[in-house]
Amino acid sequence: MKFFKSKFFIITLIVAAVIAATFTAMSLLGYSSYIKTGLNYLTVPVQKLSDLVGRALDGYSSYITEFDRLKAENEELKKQMDEMLDEVQSAKALRSENDELRRMLEVKKEHLDYKFETADIVGREDGNYMTVFTLGRGQNNGIDRDMPIIASNSGLIGRITDAGATWSKACSIIDTGSSVGAFDERSRAAGIVVGDYELRLKGYCRLAYLQSDADIEVGDRILTSGVGSVYPRGLIIGTVTEVIYDESLRTKYATVKPYAEISGLSSVTVVTSFERYIED
């Protein structure tokens, strides 16, 4: 074969023969100890290197194994954390729902003649304070035009202005198109709560059409009068924050902060039935 006839093979063979002959001759001459020392000198570093590499490979293997274990443990902990967060959120939602039902039960106890229908808000106007909004329930749920809307604390929010089979439109008491017959709980002074363009930007409304000598003070609670049959009597509209007397017109009016938190609402309660107030 060409390989066995090549110069490389011949030279390698000659070098191997020379080394073997040299070691044999040195052994015969009594230099075998030197040979062993030389071989040890050559092989010991190789053995150390081999041992070092072996230990390094073992360490790397252990590192990979530990890394995989920690990674799996981390994934399991993240899964448990997500499950715990879901449970916390569910608990919060249930607590909020229970609180809502408890408050509505209190309203029901106070107003035995009321019938309710709760509806989610599915659309609203842009802005910090909600004036016109859409509900996800309508005539199929007993909701119709001119039904009052209240919050869970029985505070007045507004009324239904239009209704379809599965939806309804509403406006709040701070809308400029809103008007509610009202009276002062303390003094019984009567007026009408109306929406005001400037006040609605602050989330407030106005108690207007008061007599010039009407007894109105800051801190008084304003309630629905029930006049007009749209709203039941006695719902809390809000609290007086300012009383103003117009010298030129000789009229008095008050700024009212709504009792219900109109901004940020996600659902409302529609009063579908109540006893109408009849003036004596």
Cβ contact 225:218 at 8 Å: no
Q: How confident is the model at residue 145 (pLDDT cuts 50, 70, 90)?
A: very high
Q: Please give the Cα distance from 27 to 133 (Å, whole number).
A: 108
| pLDDT (mean) for 37-63 | 61
Six token digits for residue 157:
């929010």
The pLDDT assigned to 75 comes to: 82
- The CB density around residue 162, as the number of other CB atoms within 10 Å, is 14
The predicted model scores a pTM of 0.63
Instruction: Report residue 128's pLDDT band, with 50, 70 and 90 as the boundaries.
Output: low
User: CA dist 271 to 99, 140, 274, Å?
Assistant: 19, 15, 7
Nearest alpha carbon to residue 39 among 54, 17, 22, 52: 22
- Asked if 216 and 210 touch (Cβ cutoff 8 Å), the reply is yes
- DSSP code, position 142: T
Burial level of 37, CB count in 10 A (0-12/13-18/19+)?
Answer: exposed
Whether the CB-CB separation of 277 and 221 falls below 8 Å is answered with no
Q: What is the mean pLDDT of residues 203-232?
A: 92
In the prediction, which pLDDT does 265 show?
A: 81
**Between these two residues, 83 and 109, which has the higher pLDDT value?**
83
Superfamily (CATH) of domain 115-273: Rod shape-determining protein MreC, domain 2 (2.40.10.350)
pLDDT value at 258 more than 90: yes
Among 98-107, 223-232, 256-265, the minimum mean pLDDT is found in 98-107
* Banded pLDDT at 3 (limits 50, 70, 90): very low
Query: In this predicted structure, what is the pLDDT of residue 201?
Result: 86
